[in-house]
Structures are given as C-alpha cells and as structure tokens.
C-alpha cells in the first residue's frame, strides 16, 4: 500500500483492510472485487491482485503460514528479492539483506563498486557487501 503513497494517506486504508481481512484465510476467501474495492484510491492494483493470489496460495499450499524459505516466498505472486529478504529478516529473524535502490547506491559508494547492477554478478556483489 505504501508504494508511491505517503504513510498518513495509507493508514486509514490499512486499518480498514485489516478490519475486513484480519487473517490470511479471510483475505484468501474474499472475492477479488472486494479486495480491489479496499485498494481503490491507492493505485497499483496489481499489488492488490498479487496479494490476494498470494494469500490463496499460502492458505492452499502452506497451511496458512507464510513460507520461511526464500524459494517458496519468491514463488508467491508479487514477491521479489527485496520483499522476500524483508519478510525473512523482519518476520523470521533470518540473516537476510533487503537491498533496495537506495541501499544499493550506498553500498556501491561505500565499496567503490562500479559494476552493472542489472546483471547477476552485480547483484551477487551487492549481496556479498550487505
């Protein structure tokens, strides 16, 4: 919900969303149009669709538990390297680095790295630095 939207704007949306969908099971069972209605006004509707699809997979394939493994997390719709690392480090206390654009920029300056960050070797270098 916070992509390109300020926190004070998101708070009422977030509170209403959690009120209507207090568990992953509630979100998974809800019709997509109801989920999208809660997202109305925030934009980036693909995130709502991905969240709904991911909730269904978590309920159906993981007994309602968010996976603790990177590979299983990355298999969920909308979960990329950053979100997977953030979930593993914050929710499960795993030693994972969530590297966004700003962190990448700092690491490149700190370690004087000039490689191509769009290539696999550049991404591996940042993970090693982090």
* Same-domain status, 103 and 91: no
Q: What is the DSSP letter of 123?
A: H
* Same-domain status, 1 and 28: yes
* Same-domain status, 47 and 16: yes
Q: At what angle do helices 45-61 and 32-39 cross, to 10 degrees?
A: 140
* Same-domain status, 14 and 41: yes
Q: Domain residues for 92?
A: 68-96
* Same-domain status, 5 and 37: yes
Which residue among 16, 45, 65 closes a domain? 65
| Cα distances (Å, whole numbers) of residue 10 to 16, 19, 39, 70, 91 | 10, 14, 10, 28, 21
**Going residue by residue through the chain (130 aa), what tens digit of pLDDT does each one get?**
887 889 999 999 999 999 999 999 999 999 999 999 999 988 889 999 999 999 999 999 999 999 999 999 999 999 999 999 999 999 999 999 999 888 888 988 888 888 888 788 888 888 888 8
Number of domains in the chain: 3
* Same-domain status, 90 and 111: no
| Cα distances (Å, whole numbers) of residue 86 to 3, 35, 48, 73, 74 | 15, 23, 19, 11, 12
CATH classification of the domain holding 59:
1.10.340.30
pTM of the full predicted structure?
A: 0.84
Residue-by-residue DSSP string for 35-66: HHHHHTTT--HHHHHHHHHHHHHHHHHSTT--
* Same-domain status, 92 and 103: no
């Amino acid at each position: 919900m916070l992509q390109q939207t300020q926190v004070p704007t998101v708070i009422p949306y977030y509170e209403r969303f959690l009120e209507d969908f207090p568990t992953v099971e509630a979100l998974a069972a809800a019709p997509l149009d109801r989920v999208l209605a809660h997202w109305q006004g925030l934009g980036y509707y693909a995130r709502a669709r991905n969240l709904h699809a991911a909730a269904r997979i978590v309920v159906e394939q993981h007994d309602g538990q968010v996976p603790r493994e990177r590979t299983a997390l990355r298999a969920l719709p909308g979960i990329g390297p950053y979100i997977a690392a953030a979930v593993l480090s914050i929710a499960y206390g795993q030693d994972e680095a969530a590297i966004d654009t700003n962190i990448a920029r700092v690491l490149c300056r700190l370690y004087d790295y000039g490689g191509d960050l769009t290539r696999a070797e550049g991404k591996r270098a940042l993970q090693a630095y982090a």
